[in-house]
Structure 1
Amino acid sequence: MSGATLQAYLASCTANRDDIATDVAAVIQRLATAALDVRKLVNQGTLGTAFNGTRGSNTDGDLQKDLDVVCDDLFLSCLQGAPVACYASEELENPVLLDPNARLAVAIDPLDGSSNIDTNVSIGTVFSILPAIKGPGLDPVHTFLQPGSCQLAAGFFVYGPQTALVLTVGRGTEIFIFSSRLGCFVQGYKSVNIAERTSEFAINMSNYRHWEEAIRLYVDDCLAGVEGPRERDFNMRWIASLVADTYRILIRGGIFLYPSDGRKGYSQGRLRLVYEANPIAFIVENAGGSATNSVTRILDLVPENLHQRVPLIFGSRREVARIARYHVDPNMIGERAPLFGKRGLFRA
C-alpha cells in the first residue's frame, strides 16, 4: 500500500521528463477533477435530474441516456484550455477540435456500463491519451486511427462502493482510490500484476448459441471442471460493466471474453477499439496481462474508423494465449484428450 496522492505520483512521473509528459499529467488531473463531478451525479441516483431520461440512440446505434450526454459535456468542458488538440467520444460522431497547437488527443467513453445505471451496478469512464497528429488540412480523426501501442497513457474511473482511478502512463498500472477525507485520489494499489494463471472467467453465457466453435469449446472445457481436459474447476463471473469486470481481474486475476458472434451487428465484436479496447489493453498489458481480438494483439490493430468495433479477450496471459490456440488449432492443446474433442457440456 502507498499513501501517494495522484498529484504526487504524476509529479514523480514528470520529473526529468520532456514537456509532453507534463502535458499528459495535466490532462489526467483535469479528467480526475471532472470524474469527481460525475461521481456526484451518479451518487444522486434516480433523485438526479439527468438520471432516468433517454435521448434515443447515439451515432453508433446504442441507447443514449441523458446522463451519458451530461458526462460527455463535463469531460469535454474540463479539457477546454488543457494541452489537448482534439477530443473524441462515444457520444459524438466526429472529434471536436480544441487547440490545434496542442500535442495530445483524448478518446473517451464518458459513461461505460450506462445500461446498468438503474440497477446500482458499478459504472465508469474509460479514457485514452494519444499524441496528436498534425498536418495542413488533416482531419482530426486521423489522430485517433493510430494503433493502441502509440498511447501515452490510459485509464478508467470506477463509480462504485469506492470511486477509483486505474491508470497507466506506460510504466506499470496503478490504482488510486478517492479519499473523502483528503478530497483527492490516493494510491491504493501499486504496480498491479495480473497472475498468469487463473480459474475464473467472465463471459455472457446467454450468447452461447451465437458463439463461434472456438469460444464454445473453450467455455465447455472450463465448465467441465476437474473431470474435463482442464482438470480443475472454474468460477464464472459477468457484471456486464467493462470497468467493473476489468477492475476485478486486476485485483484477483481472471479472463474476460467479449467475442464476436453470429448476431446481427456482432460479427466484428461489440466493444469499440479506439476508446474501450485500446485503453483497457494498455492498462492490462502494463499489469502483466494480455489482450487480443481472440488471436491478434489489440495494441497492434490499426483502427479503420473512430467507432470501429472489435472482439476483446483480456486478462491472465496464459489463458489469453490458450484462447488464441483454440482458434488456430484446438487439437494442438496437449491436455485435450480425444474424449473431450467431440463433445462439450452443452453438446451431445
Structure 2
Amino acid sequence: MKRLNKVLKEDGVETDLIMLIRTILATTKEIAFRVSQGELAGVLGSTLNENIQGEVQKKLDVIANQLLKDTLIDDDLVKTVASEEEDNAVGAHPEGKYIVAFDPLDGSSNIDVNGQIGTIFTIYPAKVDVPYDSDEQFNQPGTNQVCAGYVLYGPSSLLVMSTGGPTRCYTHDLTHGGFLLTKPELLVPSKSREFSVNMANYRYWDESTQVYFDKLLYTSEEFDKSSIRYNAAMVGDVHRILCRGGVFMYPQDTRAGNENGKIRLLYEANPLAMLTENAGGIATSKGRRILDIQPDDLHQRVPVILGSSEPVNYFDSIVY
C-alpha cells in the first residue's frame, strides 16, 4: 500500500499544499488519540459555553478546535483560519498562500456515547486583495477548493480526501504513524435505496418535502424496500454513502433559524460536496449545485441533499 505523500506527488499536488495537508493530518492524529482515551483523559461531557451556532460545546470540541487553530496559525503557508466553533476568521500570516476552514469535531453529540465523529477540513487559495484577518477571505464558491477531506475516528481512523482528482480513502497505520492508501478511488453508485435523514423533523418540513418522503416510504414502488441509515453525524453518514451509495439529506424547515437547514456551507456542505462529486455523486441545495453557491457569510447555512444521482435528482424533481 502506498503512503499518502507518494500518492499526492503522483497526483501532481504542489509541495506547499502537501506540506499543509501533512500539518493538518498531524493534528488529527493527536485528536484521534484524545478521542481514543475518552473518559480516561477527562475529555467527555459539555462545557458551560455555546459556540457561534448556539450549540453547547463539548469539552473535546474545544480541545480539537484549539489544537487545529494553534497548529495552523503557526504554519507560514496559512493566511487565514476559520472554524465552525469561532465567531470570526483568525489571521495567521499576511503572506500565506492558503486559507483553511474546519469543523473540528462533526457529530459532537455522539462524543459521550462513543459514536461516530470526525474532523472535516477544506483548503482554498488565499485572496491577495483582501486583509489576511478578514472573514471575506472565505467568500469563495466551493469550486475554488484545492483540497477537501475528513478524518473519521472509529475502530480505525480513516482519511477521505480529494485534491481535485479522485476521492481516495486512506487508513491510519498505527505501527508507522502514517496514512496508507487503502481505497484508490471511491465511486458512488448511481442508484441506492438507503437514505440518511432525521425523520423526527418531518413535522417541520414543507408540504413538497413531506410528499417526497411519503412517496419514498409508502407509495412509490420504485423505491420499495428503502432503508434509513442515520448516525447523527454528517461525516459518518456521508462516509457510508461514499463507500456504498445512498443519500444524505438535511432540508430546510419551519423552525426559527432553520429556514436554510442546519448544515454550514463552508465547513460541511462544500468539502463534502467536493468529495461526493469527485466520487461520481451529486450534491445540491434547493435544486442548485452546492459548489456553485457564492457565500455571503462565514457561517452561512444551506439545505443539503447529496449522494447517488438517481435519488438526488428524484428529490429535486419533486421538491424544487
Same fold by TM-score, threshold 0.5 exceeded?
yes
Residue 110 of structure 2 corresponds to which residue in structure 1?
A: 116
Residue 2 of structure 2 corresponds to which residue in structure 1?
A: 4
Residue 72 of structure 1 corresponds to which residue in structure 2?
A: 65
Q: Which secondary structure state, in structure 2, belongs to the residue aligned with residue 284 of structure 1?
A: helix
Q: How many residues align?
A: 319
1:277 aligns with 2:275: no
Which of these residues, 47, 59, 63, is aligned with residue 52 of structure 2? 59
Which of these residues, 277, 288, 294, is aligned with residue 296 of structure 1? 288
Residue 125 of structure 2 corresponds to which residue in structure 1?
A: 131
Residue 254 of structure 2 corresponds to which residue in structure 1?
A: 262
Which of these residues, 92, 101, 113, is aligned with residue 98 of structure 1? 92
Residue 161 of structure 1 corresponds to which residue in structure 2?
A: 155
Q: List structure 1 segments (4+ residues) > 3 angstroms apart after TM superposition.
A: 136-139
Q: Is the 8 A contact 2:193 2:223 kept in 1?
A: no
Q: Which structure has the larger Rg over C-alpha atoms?
A: 1
Q: Is the 8 A contact 1:222 1:233 kept in 2?
A: no
Residue 336 of structure 1 corresponds to which residue in structure 2?
A: none
Residue 193 of structure 2 corresponds to which residue in structure 1?
A: 199
TM-score, with structure 2 as normaliser: 0.96
Q: Deviations over 1:264-321 (max 9, x none)?
A: 2111110100111000001100000011113111001111100111111100012111
Q: Is the 8 A contact 2:69 2:81 kept in 1?
A: yes
Residue 40 of structure 1 corresponds to which residue in structure 2?
A: 33
Which of these residues, 171, 174, 182, is aligned with residue 176 of structure 2? 182
Q: Is the 8 A contact 1:170 1:286 kept in 2?
A: yes
Q: Which secondary structure state, in structure 1, belongs to the residue aligned with residue 11 of structure 2?
A: helix
1:262 deviation in Å? 1.1
In structure 2, the CA distance between the partners of 1:32 and 1:139, relative to structure 1 (3 Å rule), is closer
In structure 2, the CA distance between the partners of 1:156 and 1:136, relative to structure 1 (3 Å rule), is closer
Which of these residues, 58, 81, 87, is aligned with residue 87 of structure 1? 81
Q: Which secondary structure state, in structure 1, belongs to the residue aligned with residue 180 of structure 2?
A: strand
Give the counterpart letter for 1:195 in structure 2: P
Residue 25 of structure 1 corresponds to which residue in structure 2?
A: 18
Matches of 2:161 and 2:81, distance apart in 1: 19
Matches of 2:59 and 2:237, distance apart in 1: 24
1:150 aligns with 2:148: no
Matches of 1:200 and 1:171, distance apart in 2: 26
Matches of 1:317 and 1:239, distance apart in 2: 21
Return 279-288 or 67-76, whichever deviates more: 67-76
Unaligned ranges ≥5, structure 1: 329-348
Q: Is the 8 A contact 2:47 2:56 kept in 1?
A: yes
Give the counterpart letter for 1:165 in structure 2: L
Q: Which secondary structure state, in structure 1, belongs to the residue aligned with residue 5 of structure 2?
A: helix
Give the counterpart letter for 1:102 in structure 2: G
Give the counterpart letter for 2:220 in structure 1: G
In structure 2, the CA distance between the partners of 1:136 and 1:247, relative to structure 1 (3 Å rule), is closer
Q: Is the 8 A contact 1:164 1:178 kept in 2?
A: yes
Give the counterpart letter for 1:131 in structure 2: P
Q: Is the 8 A contact 1:294 1:323 kept in 2?
A: no
Give the counterpart letter for 1:245 in structure 2: D
Could you tell me the percent identity over the aligned residues? 39
1:184 deviation in Å? 1.1
In structure 2, the CA distance between the partners of 1:77 and 1:290, relative to structure 1 (3 Å rule), is same
Q: Is the 8 A contact 1:72 1:89 kept in 2?
A: yes
1:245 aligns with 2:237: yes
Q: Which secondary structure state, in structure 2, belongs to the residue aligned with residue 130 of structure 1?
A: strand
In structure 2, the CA distance between the partners of 1:30 and 1:137, relative to structure 1 (3 Å rule), is closer
Q: Which secondary structure state, in structure 2, belongs to the residue aligned with residue 161 of structure 1?
A: coil
Matches of 2:92 and 2:191, distance apart in 1: 44
Give the counterpart letter for 1:117 in structure 2: I
Q: Deviations over 1:128-182 (max 9, x none)?
A: 1001112265752112110111111100010111100000001110000111122
Give the counterpart letter for 1:309 in structure 2: R
Residue 332 of structure 1 corresponds to which residue in structure 2?
A: none
Residue 206 of structure 2 corresponds to which residue in structure 1?
A: 212
1:325 deviation in Å? 0.4
Give the counterpart letter for 2:8 in structure 1: L
Matches of 2:9 and 2:132, distance apart in 1: 33
